[in-house]
């Protein structure tokens, strides 16, 4: 009889401990971990890379890593933005500005939830330079296809 009571007490404690685990503050995105967006080459630029999006409460941290066969240290900076639409059909007016890409890297925090970017129709775009802003060199679709226009192929992102 004593053994059963002890076993029941231990089992009860384990249930309480297990129930308490994993309860977060809810300040991060609803279960979303970092999202990696593949940036594909555009206009024969030879530039490609990744964008890593991480939830920061109601904001999103965006880290760009762009490789270019012709890039050298001290290369010209390249403007980067988040646009509405998809790489195939991009709204030319940026929705959110990102820090310029310098030597293949850029880190920004934008005032939008990661889930809003993923569930809408948005793309990350890198331009050749400020002087040649109309020339796109790399782009990646953020959307998961759960909302927005659904125009993207879904091939521009990965988890």
Task: Give the Å distances, CA to CA, from 128 to 5, 121, 131.
Answer: 72, 23, 8
Question: Which contiguous run of DSSP H or E holds residue 12?
Answer: helix 2-20
Domain 35-150: state its class.
mainly beta
SS3 136: strand
1-10, 35-44, 98-107: which range is least confident on average?
Answer: 1-10
Q: Residue 147: which residues within 8 A CB-CB, separation 6 or more?
A: 119, 120, 121
Can you give the pTM of this predicted structure? 0.70
Q: Which residue's structure tokens are 């012709």?
A: 70
**Which pLDDT score is estimated for 17?**
33
Name the token pair of 83.
């646009």
- Residue 121: what pLDDT? 93
Residue 30 pLDDT > 80, yes or no?
no
Give domain limits for the chain: 35-150
- Look at residue 1 and tell me whether its pLDDT is greater than 60: no
Q: What would the pLDDT profile of 41-73 be if each residue is shown by its tens digit?
A: 999 999 999 999 999 999 999 999 999 876 555
């Amino acid at each position: 009889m004593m053994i059963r009571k002890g076993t029941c007490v231990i089992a009860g404690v384990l249930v309480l401990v297990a129930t308490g685990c994993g309860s977060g503050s809810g300040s991060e995105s609803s279960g979303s971990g970092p999202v990696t967006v593949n940036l594909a080459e555009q206009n024969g630029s030879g530039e490609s890379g990744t964008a890593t999006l991480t939830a920061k409460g109601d904001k999103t941290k965006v880290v760009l890593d762009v490789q270019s066969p012709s890039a050298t240290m001290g290369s010209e900076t390249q403007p980067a933005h988040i646009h509405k639409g998809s790489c195939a059909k991009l709204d030319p007016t940026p929705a959110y500005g990102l820090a310029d890409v310098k030597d293949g890297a850029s880190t920004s925090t934008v005032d939008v939830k990661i889930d809003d970017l993923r569930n809408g129709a948005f793309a990350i775009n890198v331009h050749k330079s400020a002087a040649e802003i109309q020339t796109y060199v790399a782009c990646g679709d953020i959307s998961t296809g759960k909302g927005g226009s659904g125009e993207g192929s879904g091939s521009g992102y990965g988890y």
